[in-house]
Amino acid sequence: MKIIYTDVLIIGGGLAGLRVATGVRERGNDAVVLTLVPPKRSHSAAAQGGMQASLANCKMGEGDNEDVHFSDTIKGSDWGADQIVARMFTHCAPKAIRELAHWGVPWSRVRRGDHTSIINAKKVTISEKDEAHGLITARDFGGTKKWRTCYTSDGTGHSMLYAMDNKAHEDNVEIHERLEAISLIHENGRCCGAIARNLMSGELVAYVAKATTIATGGYGRIYSVSTNAIICQGIGQAIALETGVATLGNMEAIQFHPTAIVPVGILTTEGCRGDGGLLLDKDGYRFMPDYEPDKKELASRDVVSRRMTEHMRKGKGVKSRYGDHLWLDITILGREHIEKNLREVKEICENFLGIDPAVDWIPVRPTQHYSMGGIRTKYTGESQTLKGLYSCGEAACWDMHGFNRLGGNSVSETVVSGMLVAEYISDFLDSDESDITIDTKNVEKFLKIEQDKIDTLLSKENGEDAYELRRRMEEIMMEKVGIFRNGNDLQDAVTELEELLKRSKNIEVFRSKSRASNPALENAYRTQKMIKIALTVAYGALLRTESRGAHSREDYPKRDDANWLKRTIMSWGDESDTMPTVSYEEIDISTMELPPGFRGYGKDLTQHHDNTKVRQEVVDKMKEELESKGANRFEIQNELMPFLDKLPKKYRGRNERFGEI
């Protein structure tokens, strides 16, 4: 039996996991990172368009600050987000981006003088100030009032991840590659580490830790077509769920990105539209201004994806043997711009479509992209119900995205939440509360449970084919739990997924019975976990009889604040259960800085909560009084919804901007 002891175990070597590792190391703690792939191959490397931080350096970002970023984020979330968390995030994003610059991320910079940009299909000359020359610049993105998305060409995730990984090595973080966490060790409501499987040798290893962080990314691969890497399977969420103690939040909140290429589903960044690209239909007609006259192609992602689907349903899609699609036209930006700022998009078009996007239109269709739901945490990143378990990045429901994430807010979340959670974990480790005493016999018990499961899988005969079950699960999710949802389809999805889960208890490993380096074995034990995650998504979506953000019910088109201003919380009662257990967490309007309102897209169908009006009146009155006394924006914000006391002291300071006192 192999047991490895450490202060902090971090499951996941993407941006979020590495940022936590660096942070806890800097506070003098030991950290071990487990990862399926070398960290630089984590899915974060695929992020293209950029990272949101309200620096306000470039001309089109002028006037931006934390307040504007906060308001965009809350509106984007359709008021589903935790406003305290969103405030903590927007306050820290400028700090995180500057830290990354210091660690070597070559952010694209402002260049003094005139440059041309395409805005609303027209060439516009923009003049950058002399004094801004050399500072980090930003591009436009969907659902934002200012140009706030900072970037390194369209390889932002790549350069962030390389810098983060180098930093982790510099800080002597121990990285255990090709080690997959397959269950958590826990007793009496306390998480004590994880059981991991060496993907090369098949050996099981127990990691015992005072604090365990799950930073395993999203669960997009429960859908048949996704922009996510194939390792984004939701195993991190599943092992938390399987404790029966930790909970998942808002699993039904799934984002579809408007512009994945057809048929493979690889993303072309929102930066394409941010930089001026257009969406066209089969007649070459630009349709988005008809639906969203104000934001057009740059409405929030959920909105654009729905409008595109609506337009294709009207028969305006381009027919292809892979189904209908629309066109993304970036030819308008010119070859020089594409080769400089959208070079990954160019390579994707060349390699996967055989086209040149400087000349040809790109075939695109909305595709599964992001998981707003995840392991439900407190603002500290700790599970609300399992002590010593933390989560951050896309794996978590921290919950700054609510029911729709803004483009550029995710890589930003990974480094901001990683930076903060590392401090909260370190504080926890500094306290007596973090002490654990776990009998090695109990650790052995957890190892044995996993060993027995693998032995059963390998010895099973005449069982089910995991690949078949998984393929069917992916199809169900795509067809019945997609962009537009309805009660009948969702009920069918839940019924069939439950059936698949029952069948998954009888999986046989076909092809190879090897314990080492065996993808068929990995698929066999992951499939059941993935079906459980799919069930939490489909069941949550079935029960939520309203439309909010990316969760759009055709049979319940209104956002129903009166009944549904709450988070869906899922747990898994017992190993023998075939359905998750559901409860809800109320979102309190009476403490909101920005009470629920109209998001600004289409018709306002909101059914308001009784407390909304009351809170709005309180907020308006407080603002008026404070303004009349000459209070500045920080003082006003602090009166409306204090949050600074929740932040680690070293991150409380104000951000500096041009012209801001």
Ligand X SMILES: Cc1cc2nc3c(=O)[nH]c(=O)nc-3n(C[C@H](O)[C@H](O)[C@H](O)COP(=O)(O)OP(=O)(O)OC[C@H]3O[C@@H](n4cnc5c(N)ncnc54)[C@H](O)[C@@H]3O)c2cc1C
Segment 146-175, which members bind ligand X (CB under 6 A)? Answer: 156-157
Token pair of 635, please? 């003082």
Strands 362-371, 254-261: parallel, antiparallel or unpaired by DSSP?
Answer: antiparallel
Contact with ligand X (CB under 6 A) among 8, 31, 43, 640: 43
Contact with ligand X (CB under 6 A) among 9, 10, 23, 50: 50
Give me the catalytic one of 257, 337, 544, 657: 257
Residue number, 47 or 328, with CB nearest to ligand X? 47
Q: Alpha carbon of 73 to those of 52, 195, 617, 651: distances in Å?
A: 10, 37, 22, 20
Minimum distance of ligand X from residue 435's CB (angstroms): 26
Does residue 136 sit in helix, strand or coil?
Answer: strand
Beta-carbon count within 10 A of 185 CB: 25
Contact with ligand X (CB under 6 A) among 6, 22, 35, 300: 35
Strands 51-52, 149-150: parallel, antiparallel or unpaired by DSSP?
Answer: antiparallel
Residue number, 1 or 264, with CB nearest to ligand X? 264
Contact with ligand X (CB under 6 A) among 8, 9, 10, 15: 15
Give me the catalytic one of 43, 139, 190, 273: 273
371 neighbors 399 (Cβ within 8 angstroms): no
Q: Residue holding tokens 């307040």?
A: 67
Instruction: Work out whether 140 is an interface residue with ligand X (CB under 6 A).
Output: no
Minimum distance of ligand X from residue 77's CB (angstroms): 14
Q: Is 257 labeled as catalytic in the residue annotation?
A: yes
For residue 280, list its beta bridge partners.
286, 327
Minimum distance of ligand X from residue 270's CB (angstroms): 7
Cα(357)–Cα(335) distance, integer angstroms:
8
Q: Is 485 labeled as catalytic in the residue annotation?
A: no
Token pair of 49, please? 């368009």
Segment 487-526, which members bind ligand X (CB under 6 A)? Answer: none
Binding part of the chain for ligand X, among 7-15, 57-65, 496-504, 604-612 by CB under 6 A, reads 7-15
Binding part of the chain for ligand X, among 377-385, 389-397, 427-435, 637-645 by CB under 6 A, reads 389-397
Strands 464-465, 507-508: parallel, antiparallel or unpaired by DSSP?
Answer: parallel
Contact with ligand X (CB under 6 A) among 36, 88, 173, 375: 36
Q: What share of the chain is helix, strand, coil (3-state, %, to 5)?
A: 40, 20, 40
Instruction: Work out whether 47 is an interface residue with ligand X (CB under 6 A).
Output: yes
Cα(357)–Cα(364) distance, integer angstroms:
12
Element (DSSP H or E) covering residue 192: strand 190-198
Instruction: Work out whether 34 is an interface residue with ligand X (CB under 6 A).
Output: yes
Binding part of the chain for ligand X, among 42-50, 54-62, 310-318, 345-353 by CB under 6 A, reads 42-50
Minimum distance of ligand X from residue 8's CB (angstroms): 15
Instruction: Work out whether 332 is an interface residue with ligand X (CB under 6 A).
Output: no
368 neighbors 478 (Cβ within 8 angstroms): yes
Contact with ligand X (CB under 6 A) among 76, 94, 142, 217: 217
276 neighbors 339 (Cβ within 8 angstroms): no
Question: For the purposes of burial, counting CB atoms within 10 Å of the CB of 645, is it exposed (0-12), middle (13-18) or buried (19 or more)?
Answer: exposed
Element (DSSP H or E) covering residue 447: helix 440-459
Which string of x and - marks every residue 429-468 that binds ligand X (by CB under 6 A)?
----------------------------------------
Catalytic residue positions, numbered: 257, 273
Where on the chain is the footprint of ligand X (CB under 6 A)? 11-17, 34-37, 39, 42-44, 46-51, 156-157, 180-181, 215-217, 227-228, 231-232, 235-236, 267, 269, 369-370, 393-395, 407-412, 414
